[in-house]
Structure 1
Amino acid sequence: MTRVLNFLRRPFVLDLRALALLRIATAAVVLTDLAIRSTDLEAHYANMGILPLHVLYERNWNAYQVSLHNISGLWQIQALLFLVAAGFATMLLLGYKTRLATVVSWLLLVSLQNRNPIIGQGGDDLLRMLLFWGIFLPWGRMYSTDAGRTEPKPAAYSYFSAATVAYVVQLALVYWCTALLKNAPEWTTEGTAIYYALSLDQVLMPGGRILYQFPEVMRFLTFATYYTELLLPFVLFIPVGVPFWRMLFVVVMYGFHLGISLTLFVGLFFLINMASVLGLLPTPVMDWIDRQVRTRTQRLQPHLTRLSNWRSPVRVNVESSLNLPPKTIQILHGLRNAVVTLLLAYVCWWNLDSIANPSLTMSEPLRWFGYLFRTDQHWGMFAPAVFKDDGWYILDATTPKGRHIDLNRKGRPLTLAKPASVVSLFKNDRWRKYSENYLFVSNAYLRPYYCNYLLRVWNEDSDNAPVRRLDVIYMKEVSLPNYKVATPSREVLCSCETAPPAK
């Protein structure tokens, strides 16, 4: 029986050094995310921006959600919270007080994402879940400053627990659910999904422009994408030849997401996904990486005493430091595994419900946990079909003298002509996602806040010509089959004016 169990658990045995790389990469992505978001502190997180707190509570809030970022509508308070988050993410990167750094980084990321859900994307769910499962993983036991305060080196780097099962299953769920949600004919039979995706000028990157010229290649890649997402995760559960299957999954996923980043503007989505699979790296690969890293850091060894103990576990664990008897330690480990198992079952149920299986629907009273701890997730990337309503924004501003300029093009004279690069009009992917959500009728309440924010910010800059009125216009251009598009239609989404001068 023991031999059978050991055989079945092989796919879930991870290398401690690979988990350390997962930790480092996750922390690096969190820091990058904070750096990008910090350029829009007032716009995205303050009351003077596009989503004031009272609007958030009225329109986008769930009673079970929590956010420290909601304690104030001042951008200065947001800046302070960003600095705190960056500090703990840096601790996580270095592996200093790893468990504490993981918990706080997760809490602050949940808080930040709750503050403005309008600018969220699928990668945010995965980043949040990496930190969540990281709370239960020993990803600080290697390549960390914690490793300087340790007991003797471990006899082996292999590690298995309910948390490693949860991590592997979570990765599989991402791709399985993504594929199962892509149930439109353009994915399953027609093979036109990538054609339509690359027809969206709002996300088209230079690599996509090149690929767009080859319809048969796009058709092949559509089916390749669908079946890769649907079938490849199964290799993570094969109990024989585990190192080979793991590396196959990692290599394919790296190529897959690198290809996405070169063709579509997806923000940090591709980096989050590339970071997420590092924990799968098998022991032979980690042995090679370990040798290369240690060889290249030998010269810096005297200066990196605490950072260079590559072969030590993190620190004396809590149970050992409390001098608990072995039986008690075993009970605590069993309790932790039981808790993680229940959490994983809940996450699996949530995902099964998201693919619209009526027999597996999760009742609303059970969803509070997912909302509170943000284990809720939805992997509907370009699903069930690719968005067809493409177009570009024109910010038609009228000066006191009646001139029309486009704030979206830094105050140049107004023109309805399509820009050479629509994607270049967006400062970052958060703004691109916001502009996408801004179009929906259900989000019409957002429109005046965006319009007034743009008008105020423009007029506050003394280098800009003052404007008295702003019309947010969308030039809608629907993508059609066979490289055709509908004639662009002009839609005025919102209008706002400055207050008239006092008499």
Structure 2
Amino acid sequence: MESSRPAPASLPFLTFLGRPFTLDLRALALLRAAVAGVVLLDLGIRSTDLEAHYSNQGVLPVAALYDHLWTPYQFSLHAATGLWQLQALLFGLAAGCAVALLLGYHTRLATLLSWILLVSVQNRNPMIGQGGDDLLRMLLFWGLFLPWGRVWSRDARQRGPVLSYAYCSAATVAYVVQLALLYWCTALLKFGPEWTQQGTALYYALSLDQLVLPLGKVLYPYPALLRILTLGTWYGELLVPFLLFLPFGVRRARLAFLFLTLSFHLGVSLTLFVGLFFIICSVAGLGLLPASTLSWLQTQALRLWAYWQQHAAKTRQFALHWPRLPWRLEQQPTGLGPATRVLLRGAREAVVGVLLLYVCWWNLDGIATTPSLLMSEPLRWLGYAFRVDQHWGMFAPTVFKDDGWYILEGSTPDGRLLDLNRGGQPASYGKPAAVVSLFSNDRWRKYSENYLFVSNEWMRPYYCNYLLRKWRENPANPPLSHLVVVYMKEVSLPDYQVAEPTREVLCECQ
């Protein structure tokens, strides 16, 4: 009978092809800790607007969520209540799970709970979401299938020693492909001439006062430089991901990928107000760190640990009760037999493979023009249910040109006009020195962007009434008879031309 095992001559070829997808367990551990840190940071930012963004007294009551933004396949624990106090409890639970993930304590369970709670809070208010949220969600999703708690974790103390830090599976393939999809899809979606021919996309991006930061204003007057940066961005997003799939020079290719993408996102974060997007994208690549870099980091960490133990332990008893280093592993026998483990591993690989194909198809559907490649609506339930749906259309296909600033015009009974957006100062229609400073965080900036679209006209009264109610709750504020949400629209024009702002009334409430 013919053996099903591959011929020995084929093994080197398979190993060669697997090199781009072989990751270091220590890199995965760093990825786990960094993702947990970002989840905690995200929770901290979101928690400043518990009432505004997640309660029935805020800008999106649960009833409005179900009426306008819900699909029958979604779930959200946060949508089960309209009380901000219960939202705070869910936020605290999510923070606890993220801390457990950071420490690598019951890592698989902590990953699952963190993913569920992240999906839940994102589903509660889609109007404040951005591309970084999709990436953070997918990192946790693929993390469910990655052994990112195998080393440098609390769980590692109860596992046997690793024979090799090198690890390759369907999950590592999914992780690498997901990073490539992020850049490939955003490049292919940028098919407007501003990106591919004229090189004016960054000029228009830096024309947006709602986004531009001081360094962006410094670069703005140099059209030739902006054209080079625009074309460099587009070609970089299109070509740099190929470095991830080279089966030779893997270490150098990965370091080049990390350097180029980190430099790119750092440049974006210094010129445009993009919230956590820069941090999430930078963290996402940590799983690619090569073994040589990780060995150096581990050596430095061991030296710091030894120094701390020598100088910080006040008593011998304190030192004895301090937990040992997570990479000092102990043997713990597992209850599963070899055959069962092989069967479970095969099932996991098959599930991850199917999910990866589905994710690739979803992304292909977003950029394809051929009807035969499009995903039919009945097949989309899986993407919505497990939130593997994703769209990487950042500044695509062209840059948004309807710029401007908000004036929250409140009228007092004695006829005065106050701007609530500036703490109740007399209303003025001139452009603020820094429009971006009017937003307390990127969630509010994204909400204000969605607020403009005619298709989202239904959401406007909720925001107006929320602002008026919050103003009246403070007895020190002068009384208001009604409030008008005004948008001073200033369309970005080519060649540094200045458009005359126009006053648009988006909503009125009493």
TM-score normalized by the length of structure 2: 0.95
Instruction: Name the SS for the 2:358 alignment partner.
Output: helix
Q: CA deviation at 1:357?
A: 3.3
CA distance in 2 between counterparts of 1:485 and 1:139 reads 52
CA distance in 2 between counterparts of 1:26 and 1:196 reads 32
Alignment pair present for 1:101 and 2:101: no
Q: CA deviation at 1:355?
A: 0.5
Question: Residues 463-497 of structure 1, C-alpha deviation per residue, up to 9 Å, x if partnerless?
Answer: 22221211000000000011113110000000111
Alignment pair present for 1:207 and 2:215: yes
CA distance in 1 between counterparts of 2:431 and 2:63 reads 36
Identify the residue that residue 488 of structure 1 maps to in structure 2: 501
CA distance in 2 between counterparts of 1:411 and 1:109 reads 36
Contact 1:144 1:307 in 2 (8 A): no
- Which of these residues, 473, 477, 480, is aligned with residue 467 of structure 1? 480
Residue type of the alignment partner of 1:476 = K
Instruction: Name the SS for the 2:492 alignment partner.
Output: strand
Alignment of 1:394-433 (within 5 A): 394-433=407-446
Identify the residue that residue 382 of structure 1 maps to in structure 2: 395
Q: Which moved more, 1:38-47 or 1:351-360?
A: 351-360
Shift in CA distance, 453/273, structure 1 to aligned 2, threshold 3 Å? same
CA distance in 2 between counterparts of 1:296 and 1:303 reads 18
Contact 1:396 1:414 in 2 (8 A): yes
Identify the residue that residue 355 of structure 1 maps to in structure 2: 367
Identify the residue that residue 286 of structure 1 maps to in structure 2: 294
Question: Residues 204-261 of structure 1, C-alpha deviation per residue, up to 9 Å, x if partnerless?
Answer: 1111111112111111000110011000000100000100000000111111111110
CA distance in 1 between counterparts of 2:498 and 2:61 reads 37
The sequence identity of aligned pairs, in percent, is 63
Alignment of 1:263-412 (within 5 A): 263-301=271-309, 302=319, 305-306=322-323, 308-310=325-327, 312=329, 316=332, 321-324=334-337, 326-358=338-370, 359-412=372-425
CA distance in 2 between counterparts of 1:184 and 1:457 reads 42
Q: Which moved more, 1:217-226 or 1:351-360?
A: 351-360
- Which of these residues, 169, 182, 188, is aligned with residue 196 of structure 2? 188
Q: Which moved more, 1:97-106 or 1:349-358?
A: 349-358
CA distance in 2 between counterparts of 1:477 and 1:161 reads 51
Residue type of the alignment partner of 1:49 = G
Instruction: Name the SS for the 2:303 alignment partner.
Output: helix
Shift in CA distance, 223/446, structure 1 to aligned 2, threshold 3 Å? same
Alignment pair present for 1:450 and 2:501: no
Identify the residue that residue 260 of structure 2 maps to in structure 1: 252
Identify the residue that residue 84 of structure 2 maps to in structure 1: 75
CA distance in 1 between counterparts of 2:496 and 2:421 reads 27
Question: Residues 127-154 of structure 1, C-alpha deviation per residue, up to 9 Å, x if partnerless?
Answer: 0000000000000112111122222x22
Contact 2:73 2:381 in 1 (8 A): yes
Contact 1:265 1:429 in 2 (8 A): yes
Instruction: Name the SS for the 1:23 alignment partner.
Output: helix
CA distance in 2 between counterparts of 1:196 and 1:323 reads 59
Q: Which moved more, 1:476-485 or 1:304-313?
A: 304-313
CA distance in 2 between counterparts of 1:417 and 1:238 reads 54
Contact 1:148 1:306 in 2 (8 A): no
CA distance in 2 between counterparts of 1:145 and 1:97 reads 8
CA distance in 1 between counterparts of 2:252 and 2:144 reads 28
Question: Residues 425-478 of structure 1, C-alpha deviation per residue, up to 9 Å, x if partnerless?
Answer: 001000000000000000001110100000000110122222121100000000
Q: CA deviation at 1:404?
A: 0.6
CA distance in 1 between counterparts of 2:358 and 2:321 reads 42
Alignment pair present for 1:44 and 2:56: no
Shift in CA distance, 78/303, structure 1 to aligned 2, threshold 3 Å? farther
CA distance in 2 between counterparts of 1:161 and 1:400 reads 68
CA distance in 2 between counterparts of 1:7 and 1:328 reads 29
Instruction: Name the SS for the 1:393 alignment partner.
Output: strand
Question: Residues 176-230 of structure 1, C-alpha deviation per residue, up to 9 Å, x if partnerless?
Answer: 0000000000000000000000000000111111111211111100011001100
Structure 1 gaps of 5+ residues are 498-503
Identify the residue that residue 316 of structure 2 maps to in structure 1: none
TM-score normalized by the length of structure 1: 0.96
Alignment pair present for 1:141 and 2:150: yes
Q: CA deviation at 1:47?
A: 0.3
Contact 2:157 2:327 in 1 (8 A): no
CA distance in 2 between counterparts of 1:261 and 1:170 reads 22
Contact 1:145 1:307 in 2 (8 A): no
Contact 1:141 1:312 in 2 (8 A): no
Identify the residue that residue 119 of structure 1 maps to in structure 2: 128
- Which of these residues, 59, 74, 88, is aligned with residue 65 of structure 1? 74
Q: CA deviation at 1:303?
A: 7.4
CA distance in 2 between counterparts of 1:164 and 1:183 reads 30
